[in-house]
Homo-oligomer: A and B are copies of this chain.
Amino acid sequence: MDASQTPDVVGKTRVRVRYAETDQMRVVYHANYLVWFEIGRVELMRQLGLEYSEMEAEGCGIAVVEARVRYKLPARYDDELVVETWLAKVRGPIVQFAYRITREPNQVLLCEGETVHIVVGLDMKRRHMPKKYVDLLAAAASDTLA
């Protein structure tokens, strides 16, 4: 599947822009979109039955190894946003998420991006993801090679 396609399982999370997230250009500071991506990612996993805090308590995290963000239009203070998140790829220890952020009420596209992750232990070293989690994620990704 092309990462630009949106698959069936898409998490949708709402975020309202905080004053702390703005900068003196009167728009959201660009690093904050990565924080919203993370919120979308966690909520998608929750929707798939995977509680990230439990997975981490079992000694398994998904560290970010790459992030790409394309900014289209600025988000502003108090905007209501929707973060759409989906699994673009699951390949062994590599998991790739894709994101679209739109502004309500008219679904104006503000931002798109992807993050690539590898599964790590609490020592930040690469490890295998427990099979129950692989199965949950792979079932939701169009491009899977477990």
Contact of A32 among B31, B39, B51, B66 (CB under 8 A): B31
Q: Are B20 and A23 in contact (CB under 8 A)?
A: yes
- The contact size tier of chain A is 35 or more
Chain A facing B: main interface SS: mixed
Q: Give the number of copies in the complex.
A: 4
Instruction: Tell whether A31 pairs with B25 under 8 Å between CB atoms, given A67-B67, A67-B69, A77-B53.
Output: no
| Residue picked from A23, A63, A70, most chain B C-beta under 10 Å | A23
A60: min CB distance to chain B, Å:
11
- Which listed residue, B26, B29, B61, touches A20 by the CB 8 Å rule? B29
**Apart from the given pairs A30-B34, A53-B77, A74-B124, 14 other A-B contacts in the complex at a CB distance below 8 Å:** A19-B38, A20-B35, A22-B23, A22-B24, A24-B26, A27-B124, A31-B34, A31-B35, A51-B78, A53-B78, A63-B71, A63-B74, A66-B70, A67-B68
